[in-house]
Amino acid sequence: MSSGGVLGVAVPGSVFNNVHRTEIGKATRDLPGDAADGVRDSFAGALHVAEHLGGRPSAALADAAGNALGSGMNAALFIGLAVVFVGGGVAVALLPPRSQELSDERASRETR
């Protein structure tokens, strides 16, 4: 059971990180190395760098950071949702109906 919890965090987290870094990477092409690293490290770092840029580049970077964060969250949540639906489908397909379990239990009591 603990491996399911680990995978439940690791897989969506990896998807989020991959999508976020890809999206934010597009916005850091024209930034100097230190500033680009700050933007890639975190959303707060991106907003901090955007604050120091000023003007139109600031707004564009802040928007790109917000969009990258949203894209990453959407992708991670979609993966989580897909896992829930697949798991539910597998459970419905493979688990016996509850009424059958109760009937089998009653029958075994009556034969004792």
Q: Where are the domains of the chain?
A: 2-110
DSSP secondary structure string, 6-72? HHHHHHHHHHHHHHHHHHHHHHTTTS-HHHHHHHHH-HHHHHHHHHHH-HHHHHHHHHHHHHHHHHH
Q: What is the pTM of this model?
A: 0.72
pLDDT at 65: 92
pLDDT, one tens digit for every residue, the chain (112 residues): 567 777 778 889 999 999 998 999 888 888 888 888 888 888 898 999 988 888 888 899 999 999 999 999 999 999 989 988 998 999 899 987 776 666 666 767 766 6
